[in-house]
Structure 1
């Protein structure tokens, strides 16, 4: 009996100490659910049947099929309580590689887009994060308990280019403009050099005549008319 009482007394003490540890370090363990607030797909990849769109993150066992999303250019809104919600969970302030996909019966599934989904993406008081990809989709996610201490914006657009850098067309335009300016400068410089060279030759030619007249004056060879 004394041993059993001693063991029963130790168990709640350990549990209480664990609770105190969690309350002192709330950021050490983070588990926040991410739900889909709305989505609009701009393009579908299946031609003969309605698409089956789903969301999946790496290392997640299951994919989340969006059963209502069937038509393109239609905005679908959700309340977060659907049977297929939540989409995923974010833990310990770490990002996940996630994306939207479309099932394909013949070849590998089509990819709308893959990106790094991070807790710091969800900023503001509403805990929303918007992802826009040109010609693919426009989606808004909700995660009220996600960490918002990061510096990332809660609204990201991926429309102008599939990469995060400067669009290739803009880079090419800048290069062409720089080349045009350089060529114009070279041509202008060459014309200026030719003009200066002609002026110098004309000056030397006139000086030769002046020198010839001076010699004739010194020798008394002026023409008598």
Structure 2
């Protein structure tokens, strides 16, 4: 009779590896983010030569396009409530700016650019959480982000606050790194103990199987301890 070794991985090891991967995956979510909506916009011109309504959109580099379906005319002031189906525009973090812009879709060539700029939480310095972006002969847009005000106040406009923010950021990274390292070490120790225990069980089973085989051979030859000569 041959024993089949148990190949199941220990549940503790699986749980530790899951915790480790979850910490690494969701670490960026620990950095606070603030939602940005479009409060108002006015176009000073359009770039489409054909007598059709322009298609205007907002986009940050690497993110999805947000079309502005209501914006169709130049020299018209469009105000929004922030609850439109296409809102919000994006999210900002206190320690990272985004390259964003407002564009006009073109059917014959590459899309036209009203303006591109570095969009940062620190731009929202007004107490009401509004930031006005103006480009001469192109547009005047107001963005709303009340959550950006405390983030912007702790940004790199102040060297002391920036150093404090960077210190906390690196301390958080070191804490997470230490946690991940501890989990990996614990997982390694558990895996080694499991492997050692399984090896001992297999050696013990092999040792018992050897005695069983010897007893079977003795019984077949009739030389076992219970056999006798008549």
Superposition TM-score tier, normalisation by shorter sequence:
0.5 to 0.7
2:145 to 143, 146, 155: 143
Where does 1:75-86 land on structure 2 (aligned, <5 Å)? Answer: 75-86=77-88
Larger Rg: 1
Q: SS at the partner of 2:122?
A: helix
Could you tell me whether the CA contact under 8 Å between 2:43 and 2:76 is conserved in 1? yes
Match of 1:217 in 2: none
User: 5+ unaligned residues in a row in structure 2: which ranges?
Assistant: 1-11, 13-18, 24-29, 158-230
Match among 74, 77, 85 for residue 76 of structure 2: 74
Contact 1:30 1:93 in 2 (8 A): no
Q: Deviations over 1:91-111 (max 9, x none)?
A: 342100000000000100000
3-state DSSP of counterpart to 1:120 = helix
**1:125, CA displacement in angstroms?**
1.7
Query: Does the alignment pair 1:54 with 2:66?
Result: no
Shift in CA distance, 91/151, structure 1 to aligned 2, threshold 3 Å: closer
Q: Secondary structure at the match of 1:148?
A: helix
Aligned length: 131
CA RMSD of aligned residues (A): 2.4
Using the alignment, how far apart are the partners of 2:94 and 2:73 within structure 1?
Answer: 36
Distance 2:120 2:103 in 1: 19
Do structure 1's residue 93 and structure 2's residue 95 form an aligned pair?
yes
Q: TM-score, normalised by structure 2?
A: 0.53
Query: Which has the larger helix fraction?
Result: 2
List structure 1 segments (4+ residues) > 3 angstroms apart after TM superposition: none
Aligned to 1:102: 104
| 1:59/1:46 CA distance change after superposition, 3 Å | same
Q: Give the superposition deviation at 1:114.
A: 0.3
Structure 1: give runs of 5+ residues left out of the alignment.
1-6, 8-13, 19-27, 153-225
Match of 1:183 in 2: none
Q: Is contact 1:55-1:100 (8 Å) kept? A: yes
TM-score (norm 1): 0.54
Deviations 1:158-190 (A, max 9, x none): xxxxxxxxxxxxxxxxxxxxxxxxxxxxxxxxx
* TM-superposed deviation, 1:151: 6.7
The answer (yes or no) to whether the contact 1:100–1:112 under 8 Å persists in 2 is yes
**Which of 1 and 2 has higher RCO (CA within 8 Å, sep 6+)?**
2
